[in-house]
Each structure stands twice: as C-alpha cells, then as structure tokens.
Structure 1
Amino acid sequence: MTPSVPPASAATRLYHYPLSPFCRKVRLTLGEKRIEVELVEERYWEKDPEFLRRNPAGQVPVLRIGGRMLADSQAICEYLDEVFPQPPLMPRDPDARYEVRRLCAWFDGKFHAEVTRKLMGERVFKKLMGGGAPPDSAAVKAGARDIKTHLAYMTQLLEIRRWLAGNDLTLADFAAAAQLSVLDYVSDVPWHQFETVKDWYAKVKSRPAFRSILADQVPGFRPARHYADLDF
C-alpha cells in the first residue's frame, strides 16, 4: 500500500542543529527532492520541554510534515524517499537497498562514534554545551587517527563504484557527506591524503541540495576558509 503523500508546504518544518550530521542528512534529502522546509534551530541539549514533547528522545532532527512529527534521521529519510519518490535515493533491488542501509548504518553509527563524536564532540560541542572541561586530547588523537581508516575504506569502495553504494547517488552518499561536512567545517578532514574521496565529496558538495549547508554559520566557530569552496 502506497503511503499518502503529505503536502510539501510552509508547514514543513525541520527542528535541527546546524552542526548535527544527522540533521544534515535529512536536509540533503529534502534538498535533493526539492521540498521546501522551514529550518528551526534547536539546542537540543538544553532539553526544552516543548522540544521533548515533539521527540521524547530529546534528539534532532525532528521533521514536521503533513501534520506528523517524525524523528530519527534514517527513518525520516526513508519515509521521504517513499512518499516523494523522485529522484530516488533508495534502490528498488533488495540487495542494492541492503547495501545502502548497511553504509548508512556504518556512517551514522561507526563513523560517528569513532570520528565525529571524538573530533567535533571534544573540540566544538563541549564548548557549545557549556562544559568547562578542556578537550580530551586522547579522544581527539583517536578521532584524527580513525578518520584515515574510514577514508581508506571509502577509497576502496569508490575505486570500484561511481558512488559509495553503487553506480547511482543514494542515501549512503548523503549519510557519509553529512558526517564529513561537519568535520570539514572545522578543517578536520585530511583531503590531500585521499584524493579519490575528495573527488567524490566535490561531486556531492556541488549539488544544489548542499547549498544551504555550505551557508551555515555557527557563532563562535568560523568555517574553514575552503568550506564553501566548490573547487577546494
């Protein structure tokens, strides 16, 4: 049974935080499908009661669309792909769809835990959340080491595929680009050591869906000079 398609209108609202990779994954999906959305910045760590009513888990993103409140980035993106099927971001073939989901889980879970949380969490979010403790140098070193392992794995994939999950752009590319984009905001990606991944990221970065992300500005943290440069 095909789900009813909610109207994409001014009532579509995304509660997000600019440097959240999970929010960025949803923003990329919305942008790729040309769904207009109102962005509402949510400092989710402050646990505002109104926000907790929208998502008791206290996490962003939360998407209001068609009178519904949707949470969890992967669930949101797959929902959007089903109700707004063009352009498709999930393959129809079950094996190909499995590979997209596997890679989304890799970047949302493993990459985020081993890299993004250690680099952004220690260097940026500790300050944003008002913590007085300095960055954990051991965690930062581990993140800087582990990102190279992940980029090497991406290189292996991209040497045999046009995109991460196959020959077509999919949600897997957005999951990976979302994580890398927040790290690139603070210049934490060693692009010069991984030219294949850099070329792939340049293709994703040049898509119209990426424009609002490249315009992000977070008070207290200036983006890297090359961040919005398509020819970086």
Structure 2
Amino acid sequence: MARLFHVPLSPYCRKVRLSLAEKKIECELVEERYWEQDPDFLRRNPAGKVPVLKLDTQTMAESAAICEYLEEAYPEPSLMPKGAEARYEVRRLVSWFDDKFHHEVTSKLLYERVNKKVQGSGYPDSKNVKAGAKAIKYHLDYMAWLLDHRRWLAGDQMTLADFAAAAHLSCLDYISDVDWNRSEAVKDWYAKIKSRPAFRSILADQVPGFPPPPHYADLDF
C-alpha cells in the first residue's frame, strides 16, 4: 500500500490524494507536522515540504512531479488529454492554481487564518486576509469564464487541472472563504467534483480547533 505524508488542509497534498483516489491506488495517510523539521521526515524530503509519497520502492516529493509520475505509471483513468496543446492547457492551469492562485489567495486566507495558529507562528495579518478576499473574486470570475466556454476547466474532459483547482477551493471552503453564489457555473462544477468517490476522504477531514461549516460535506451544498 502507498503511504502519503500530508497535512489535511494542504492543497498540494489534496491534489495528490485526489489523483491517487481517482486511479484507485490504496494509500495510507500519515499526518506530518512538517514545520517541526523532524529529522526522519527531512531524510524523506530534505526540502522539508509535504506531500511525500512512498510508493513501492520510490519515495517522491513535489506534488506536480508526483502527479506526473502517477499519470505515467498508472495511465487509467487518464487525468491528462492526449493532444500536445490540450496537455499544455492542463499544465498551464495546474500552474495557475498552484502558483498564482496560491500566492494571491490560498496563502493570504488559509495560511493566515489556519496555518499560523496551528504552527504557533503568530496572528493573522489583516492586510493579507483582505487582499486574499479581494483576489479570490477575480479567480472565481476567471473560472466562470473558462466554464462558459468548456465543460471542464481545461476542456471537454475532467483533468488534473480540475483537481488542482478543487484542491485549493476545498481547503478554502473548509474555512468558509468561497462565495459560491458568485458564479452558478463554478458552483455546479465544484458540486460535480466533490460528488466523485475520490473526494470522500477529503470531505471527512477534520482539523482540531477548526470545525468545517455544515455545507462543506454536503454534496448538494
């Protein structure tokens, strides 16, 4: 069985969890307090970050590289389209959410509201929280625009781009920081994503001191 060292409200860990679950790869979840820089964990990943996946004889770090490996080693069901242009678009959007969205939204809301308290590293910075609350509106509008032209974010089939976006939004939804009324298209897209069996373990996550809102695990909102 695979073993994933993770934290529950990490979008990068959730993206890997979704990929594993969609491909029906059984995985043991091991919660890792990576900020404590435990020597055993640093031996697994000297970068000191999660996720870290142990699969067969491999120990792998970096969520993008892990997901690419899973796609190559376990090609069915596929989370990448076949054509070069379509695959580029998936990778572009994965980078959009894991880089731009993370920097402008996730780090400003989730990390300020939750991570600082969990890690004992101070109090939320109100300027960052306000900036994140403003930026998420722009990103939701961009997603709405994409979904007006496509069935899924990157095209006509569900891909890793949808999982990357859902990983970030599900973390933010856990702390009620997503206005689902802003776009019916985005809300319907997320309802489809979180209704998938791959999402079940994520919707069961609990972070001590941070209970999720009632709608979090409600498949119909």
TM-score range, shorter chain: over 0.9
Unaligned regions of 5+ residues in structure 2, if any? none
Please tell me whether the aligned partners of residues 140 and 182 of structure 2 are also in contact (alpha carbons under 8 angstroms).
no
Aligned position for 2:117:
127
Q: How many percent of aligned residue pairs carry the same amino acid?
A: 69
Please tell me whether the aligned partners of residues 8 and 14 of structure 2 are also in contact (alpha carbons under 8 angstroms).
yes
Structure 1 residue ranges, 4+ long, deviating more than 2 angstroms after superposition = none
Deviation, structure 1 residue 90: 0.9
Distance 1:121 1:113 in 2: 10
Aligned position for 1:97:
87
How big is each residue's C-alpha offset from its partner over 1:54-99, in whole Å with a ceiling of 9 and x where there is no partner?
0000000000001110111011011101111110001121100000
Which of 13, 37, 55 aligns to 1:23? It is 13
Distance 2:179 2:69 in 1: 34
Aligned position for 1:5:
none
1:159 partner SS: helix
2:48 aligned with 1:58: yes
Which of 103, 108, 112 aligns to 2:98? It is 108
Deviation, structure 1 residue 134: 2.2
Report the residue type matching 2:198 in the other structure: A
1:38 partner SS: strand
TM-score by length of 1: 0.94
Aligned position for 1:3:
none
Report the residue type matching 1:45 in the other structure: W
Report the residue type matching 1:63 in the other structure: L
Aligned position for 2:174:
185
Aligned position for 2:25:
35
Over the aligned positions, Cα root-mean-square deviation in angstroms equals 0.6
Report the residue type matching 1:144 in the other structure: A
Aligned position for 1:212:
201
Report the residue type matching 1:159 in the other structure: D
Report the residue type matching 1:26 in the other structure: V
Distance 1:227 1:141 in 2: 22
2:150 partner SS: coil
Between the two proteins, the alignment pairs up a number of residues equal to 221
Report the residue type matching 1:156 in the other structure: W
1:64 partner SS: strand
TM-score by length of 2: 0.99
Which of 158, 161, 173 aligns to 2:150? It is 161
2:149 partner SS: coil
Unaligned regions of 5+ residues in structure 1, if any? 1-9
Distance 2:187 2:180 in 1: 6
How big is each residue's C-alpha offset from its partner over 1:9-46, in whole Å with a ceiling of 9 and x where there is no partner?
x2x10000000000000000000000000000001111
